[in-house]
Structure 1
């Protein structure tokens, strides 16, 4: 089954997400108290192959199996790639990889933001050279096969996370998260609140370092929850 891409997310959403990290976005899910499986966080095994630069884009999805990369090629050359992240449910197949650097180079030329594969990849040196964000479960030098058309732009599961075409996909050195399109605004709002909190904490720590160096009174660093617990024991 081949379906058209979901519309690209608004540019303002992409710009806001680019100012955040995957941990901050996941903190946003937690702060918003949303019922998203695993908070939208993919398994720890999903790791960057080459570059760890921030990846942000709109999800397009591919479902395949058994190391068959024909569905990925059908998707790459049949629907627009500009602004999208290709998220592939390869069923965590371990005997063949799904992509190498030739496929990645072509996708990069067509404007893709990144590729996330619930399966394996190869040609890691080439992946590092081109600088396209690629995430997979690991490396396997054996070649893929081409067998069937698979399914393109349907709801899938990838590394423990549900993904629908049009969702927000973000990746960095820590991993990958996916936020349902209808929940993006509230998650970004809460993530930006967490960013503001962290910036204040960093400034406070800097003041502590400066005060310690100058022999001045030290500001309190402990979070309020710690202060409350500590007070019970007169520490």
Structure 2
């Protein structure tokens, strides 16, 4: 049985995390914040897909239990991999956030949802849906390899990856 893992978002300050835990991995500063939460964090679940958000749709329909969905969308700027409907589903199913190495859309609505969303940019075109992609595998972007079960902490300063849950600096 999965149990929701609550992280106090007020405690997430990535510069303080880096100072206290110098071994955390820091993703290159490629991302912009599109969600209403300035900070979010949780255990990582991964997807690798390219211009096909079928796996994203499948994942957000499942219980998130406070996890962060990290999607390697190949860095594509040709379509959006997350929009308002999937983001609303993610909120309803208890996801803490989504980090998209690709684009999102419906950004004005994303900014109102209680969900952390970081992405490379926005794009009005939706993705294809052919059922392609992989879940729960190691993915690499922004100079960091990210594995399911690691912990992600994000705020407006950046995104850090830890091998395990951290005791956050007060």
TM range (shorter): 0.7 to 0.9
Counterpart of 1:27 (choices 15, 19, 22) is: 19
Partner of 2:31: 46
**TM-score when scaled to structure 2?**
0.88
Could you tell me which residue of structure 2 aligns to residue 126 of structure 1?
Answer: 109
Post-superposition offset of 1:8: 6.7
Whole-Å separation in 2 of the counterparts to 1:76 and 1:49: 17
Name which structure has the greater RCO, CA cutoff 8 Å, separation 6+: 2
| TM-aligned CA deviation for residue 44 of structure 1 | 1.2
Residue 76, structure 1, aligned to residue 68, structure 2: no
Alignment of 1:143-158 (within 5 A): 143-158=126-141
How far apart, CA to CA, are the structure 2 residues paired with 1:146 and 1:176? 28
Q: TM-score w.r.t. structure 1 length?
A: 0.65
SS in 2 for 1:105: helix
The 1:9/1:154 distance shift into structure 2, 3 A limit, reads: farther
Q: Paired residues, what number?
A: 169
Q: Give unpaired runs (5+ residues) of structure 2.
A: none
* Structure 1 unaligned spans of 5+: 1-6, 196-235
**2:58 partner SS:** helix
More strand by share: 2
Give 1:162 deviation, angstroms: 1.5
Which consecutive segments of 4 or more residues in structure 1 shift more than 4 A?
A: 7-11
Q: 2:93 aligns with which of 103, 110, 113?
A: 110
1:59 Cα offset (Å): 0.6
Contact 2:60/2:95, CA 8 A, preserved across alignment: no
What is the CA RMSD across the aligned residues, in angstroms?
Answer: 2.2
**Residues 202-221 of structure 1 correspond to what in structure 2 (within 5 A)?**
none
Partner of 2:84: 101
Structure with greater Cα Rg: 1
Q: Which has the higher helix share?
A: 1
Q: Residue 52 of structure 1: CA displacement?
A: 4.1
Local SS of the residue matching 1:62: strand
